[in-house]
Each structure stands twice: as C-alpha cells, then as structure tokens.
Amino acid sequence: MQSNLSPEEKLSQWLGGNVQRRPEEVPDAETKELVELARLVDEWQVPAMRTKDDAWARLNERINQEVATAVTPTTETPQTSPAVVRPLTQRVWVRWASIAAVGLVLVASWLVLRQPTIEVIKSANGQQLTQVELPDGSRVSLNAGSELSYNTETWTSDRAVSLTGEGFFEVERGSTFRVETSHGAVTVLGTSFNVYSRAQDLNVVCYTGKVQVAVEQPKGAEEVLTLTPGMFVEANGGEVAQGELREGEAGPGWLDGSFSYRSAPLQEVMDEISRQFDVKILLEAKQNQRYSGKFTNDTLNNALKTVCGSMGLAIFEDNGVYHIRSN
C-alpha cells in the first residue's frame, strides 16, 4: 500500500499538513520514530523580547519620519525621482480603491490582501482531517464526510463556524466562539468539545471548559443547556437528553479511530462505517435493533465483523456494495 513511497514522502504524510491519510494507514517503524522525534518540539515558542505592538510602534515612528521628510527612497529602490514615485502610488491606490468600492470590508489601499471571504474545509468519506487551524489558533479535526466553513473577513470580530457532520474543537481563549449547525448553535469560550450534527441528530460532548448548546425547537423556540467537562447532550428531532460520560475522557474516540456506541440504532453504526471507508453498505435486516459496543477503523473487514458478529448478522459483498443480512 505504501511501498511505492519514498521515506520523505511517508514522513510528509504525517508532518506535511496537507496530505490526507486513509484511516487504515499506520506509519512504519522508521517513520513513526521520526514523527515522534519531530513532535517533541511542537510546544516550543520563540523567546521574543519585544511584543508585536511595541515593534509596530517603533516601525511606525520610522515610517512617519520618512513620510514627513518626504525623502527619496534609498538607493535600494529603482531610480525614480520623488515626482514620479507619488503619482505611481496614487495610480495603484486608485486601482485598488475601485475594487474596494465593490464592497470589501478592507480599507481601500495600495494593497488589498486577496483572501476568499468564506473559507470552506471539507473531509471526504474515508478521510479524517486533523488539526485544521483556524485564524485565531483554534483547532478543529473533522471526521469523515464533514464540512466546516467560516467568514475570514469577519472572523476577528466574530468567531463563528458552520458545521455539518462531526468535528472536535479545541478553542483558544478569547471572544465567544460559536459553532452553527442546522439543529442549533454551540457557544464556548476557550475549551474543547465534540459536535456531531447529522440527519436528525445533534450530539455535543464537553471535554474541557464550558459549553453552551442551544437546540432549536419547533416554532422558533430554543432549549439552552450548559455543559461542563464530561457532560454531553443528545438531541434528536425536538427531544433533548443530557448525560455524563462514564470515564474521564480527553477527547472523542473517532480521533483515534475508535467508535463506541451505547444502544445506538444499528443504521447509525453502519452509516459511520460507510463514511469511514467510503463504501456503500445496505442494512437489510434488524434495522430497528440497537448496538452497544465498539469498532475501530483500521480495516473495513474488522469493523464489519466486529459489529455484525455481536448482532448475529452476516456480510455479503457484491460488486463493491456490502449487504448485511441475518445469519
């Protein structure tokens, strides 16, 4: 599976930041060793002596000095006289100004940073995106078949993302951070939590900090709950249930490829397997039964066998489609 990759490429799958790994890929011993070595440095910070604000203040002074004396740019720049430089800048400024007039929030200037207004991050079926970074340093990991989006322009004044599917969030302290789903909104200050929003279900688990969940009810009403570490809420349609995790967990199992269920509809479990491996699964028996147990996403066969074994079900594969029937 990975045998055609060079050692650098294998390493880049884990450290490169851009590559999506299939859930069943495990690093070989050599790569694993190097990755662990690399990670030793992850929390280090450059020992700055000056703050950014202070640095700006100094720079700004020098810039103002330069403008006040209207000095010709030094010999580093192309040879142009002051009379030529100013009209040049004006022309550029006017050009960007016309773009700004079309409605960008950024101040009209000689330089408009061309960033997309809405940033969309999607994970395909069979893919997990880990540690996606948001502009404020908050991190989100997306489980398979999920989508996250946010507005880059309004981000600094309003930390809000829109989520379909499932994401685990680690939020930096700061202004309130909001996750909007089609079932309701989750609002937090610095904290870590998991949001599962698919079909009719909204499940939120709080791991650290405090999480507020506002579940949409019929007729525009809202039910608002506050979660502390270890607490979760499960909302289905209009029904809302609250509970507490049995053991102290630091994060959701899916990040480690582990999926646990307590009396969950079998269809939901099959849907998750389907997304994890990007295969079509047809549940043709016991659709209303519930599953309690755990599967891991290392291989499709193991996952199906684990679940089906305990439910008295058999797996038939036909042309890439998996049919689940009674034994």
Partner 1 sequence: MGNEHLSDHQAENGHLGQHQSEQMAFKQLFDQYYEAIRNFLYYKSGEIALAEDLTQEAFLILWKKRANIDPDKVKSYLYTIANNLFLNEVKHQKVVMKFHQQPISTTSIETPQYLMEEGEFRNKLEQAISSLPEKNRVVFLMNRIEKLTYREIADRLGLSVKAVEKRMHKALLQLRELYPRI
How many Å apart are CA 244 and CA 228, to the nearest integer?
9
Contact pattern for partner 1 over residues 35 through 74, marking x by CB under 8 A: -xxxxxxxxxxxxxxx-x--xx-xxx-xx--xx-----xx
How many Å apart are CA 142 and CA 255, to the nearest integer?
9
Contacts of residue 124, Cβ cutoff 8 Å, sequence gap at least 6: 20, 144, 145, 278
Contact pattern for partner 1 over residues 243 through 282, marking x by CB under 8 A: -------x--------------------------------
How many Å apart are CA 95 and CA 92, to the nearest integer?
5
Residue 213 corresponds to which tokens in the numbers above?
A: 């969940």
How many Å apart are CA 292 and CA 306, to the nearest integer?
11
Fill in the DSSP letter of residue 143: -
How many Å apart are CA 89 and CA 77, to the nearest integer?
14
Residue 280 Cβ vs partner 1, minimum distance, rounded to whole Å? 32
Q: Report 2-31 residues binding partner 1 (CB under 8 A).
A: 7-9, 11-12, 15-18
CB 13 within 8 A of CB 21: yes
Per CB under 8 A, which region of 94-102, 165-173, 195-203, 230-238 contacts partner 1?
94-102
Contact pattern for partner 1 over residues 208 through 247, marking x by CB under 8 A: ----------------------------------------
Residue 221 Cβ vs partner 1, minimum distance, rounded to whole Å? 37
Cα angle: 157, vertex 140, 236; to 5 degrees: 95
| Amino acid in the structure at residue 149 | S
Residue closer to partner 1, measured from CB, 106 or 279: 106
Residue 59 Cβ vs partner 1, minimum distance, rounded to whole Å? 5
Contacts of residue 14, Cβ cutoff 8 Å, sequence gap at least 6: 21, 27, 31, 35
Contact pick of 81, 101, 246, 327 for partner 1 (by CB under 8 A) = 101
What is the total count of residues that contact partner 1 (CB under 8 A)?
Answer: 66
Q: Residue holding tokens 């703050």?
A: 51
Q: Report 113-152 residues binding partner 1 (CB under 8 A).
A: 113-114, 131, 133
Contact pick of 26, 92, 124, 224 for partner 1 (by CB under 8 A) = 92
Given the rule CB under 8 A, which residues bind partner 1?
A: 7-9, 11-12, 15-18, 33-34, 36-50, 52, 55-56, 58-60, 62-63, 66-67, 73-74, 76-78, 85-86, 88-90, 92-93, 97, 100-104, 106-114, 131, 133, 250
